[in-house]
């Protein structure tokens, strides 16, 4: 993401509410995740690079964690983010740190070094996913759109929190299971979309949703140089723009999946071309929209893509 604006996609309320994290706490804990027996233990200080990972660790840790998400504003760009004094202070106290990795949020490593905190458990989501970038090749670092990868991440977070607070390990494991069960439900929905629409061609403005569309069996027909230029904030060549516009004027794709946080003349031109040719536009975002949880957000994204293809 190089430029940003506005809010995330509208949530499909019925499915999102069915899957969103509930208010009831795990067995042996109150609604905030605190143990009922005796006084609650001190919260584990956790720092996440973005609010996506901040929300996931909150779902697992409940009231046993104090989570700070460095990037929670869609206007902030992880690729060029500059650390603040407050960020360094939070990192200096963190017991668990969660970063995306893959070159997406390199500022975390730099900040940890300057914060002189060598003791926290540092969890790299890209490494956990097993999708490490190949030397010299292009890599889609947006692994939070890969639901199985987030299941693996939940396990790693659970282990780190359990080591930090062994007495609360059962709470963390219970919450992680609930989170992963919701992920499984959503993965099943992706499989249903694949059964109905495998091989359907779509376009994207940049690679943000490609793990999700791949799980649905959809084909990305966007010229690689177009989506790469948009993601890196570079210029789109006239040839690349023309090839991309032809996808819509020639009705070669059934949907455009549009990153609302990367808005500029090339993406607006592509969006207009899709709309003018009656091709559905599905908005997505990189960061968690205000007031939403990860499961509800991903539910909305899956539902919006499915609706576009089912029309």
Q: What is the pLDDT of residues 231-242, one digit of tens each?
A: 888 999 999 999
What is the 8-class DSSP label of residue 222?
S
Higher pLDDT, 105 or 36: 105
Q: What is the pLDDT of residues 104-116, one digit of tens each?
A: 998 898 888 888 8
Ordered domains of the chain (ranges, CATH): 13-184 (3.40.50.1980), 189-310 (3.40.50.1980)
Q: The whole model's pTM is what?
A: 0.85
Q: What is the pLDDT of residues 141-162, one digit of tens each?
A: 999 999 999 999 999 999 999 9
What is the 8-class DSSP label of residue 209?
T
Q: Which residues contact 169 (CB under 8 A, 6 or more apart)?
A: 161, 162
pLDDT for 83: 67
Torsion of CA 26, 27, 32, 37, to 10 degrees: -160
Q: Give 43-61 as a DSSP string.
A: PEEEEEEEHHHHHHHHHHH
Q: What is the pLDDT of residues 175-219, one digit of tens each?
A: 999 999 999 999 999 999 999 999 999 999 999 999 999 999 999
Straight-line distance from the first to the last Cα atom of the chain, in angstroms, rounded to the nearest whole number: 29
Q: Which residues contact 284 (CB under 8 A, 6 or more apart)?
A: 8, 9, 208, 209, 257, 258, 259, 260, 301, 304
Distances (CA, A) of 64 to 57, 93, 295: 10, 16, 20
pLDDT for 42: 86
- For residue 35, pLDDT over 90 is answered with no
Buried-exposed string 262-287: b where 16+ CB fall within 10 A, e elsewhere: bbeebbeebbebbeeeebbbbbbbbb
Smallest CA-to-CA distance from 58 within 33, 29, 88 is with 33
């Amino acid at each position: 993401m190089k430029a940003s604006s506005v809010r995330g996609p509208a949530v499909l309320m019925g499915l999102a509410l069915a899957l969103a994290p509930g208010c009831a706490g795990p067995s042996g804990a109150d609604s905030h995740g605190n143990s009922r027996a005796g006084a609650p233990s001190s919260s584990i200080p956790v720092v996440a690079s973005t609010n996506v990972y901040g929300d996931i660790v909150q779902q697992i840790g409940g009231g046993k964690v104090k989570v700070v998400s460095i990037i929670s504003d869609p206007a902030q760009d992880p690729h060029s983010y500059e650390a603040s004094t407050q960020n360094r202070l939070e990192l200096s106290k963190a017991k668990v740190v969660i970063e995306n990795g893959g070159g997406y949020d390199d500022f975390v490593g730099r900040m940890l070094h300057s914060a002189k905190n060598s003791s926290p458990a540092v969890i790299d989501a890209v490494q956990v996913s097993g999708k490490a970038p190949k030397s010299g090749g292009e890599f889609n670092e947006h692994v939070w759109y890969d639901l199985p990868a987030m299941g693996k991440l939940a396990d790693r977070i659970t282990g780190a929190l359990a080591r930090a607070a062994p007495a609360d390990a059962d709470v963390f494991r219970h919450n992680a299971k609930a989170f992963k069960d919701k992920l499984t439900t959503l993965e099943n929905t992706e499989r249903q979309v694949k059964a109905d629409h495998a091989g359907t061609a779509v376009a994207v403005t940049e690679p943000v949703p490609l793990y999700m569309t791949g799980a649905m069996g959809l084909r990305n027909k966007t010229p690689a140089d177009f989506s790469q230029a948009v993601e890196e904030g570079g210029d789109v060549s006239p040839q690349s723009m023309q090839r991309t516009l032809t996808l819509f004027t020639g009705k070669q794709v059934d949907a455009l999946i549009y990153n609302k946080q990367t808005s500029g003349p090339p993406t607006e031109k592509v969006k207009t071309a899709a709309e003018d040719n009656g091709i559905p536009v599905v908005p997505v975002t990189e960061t968690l929209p205000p007031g939403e949880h990860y499961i509800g957000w991903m539910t909305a994204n899956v539902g919006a893509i499915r609706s576009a293809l089912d029309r």
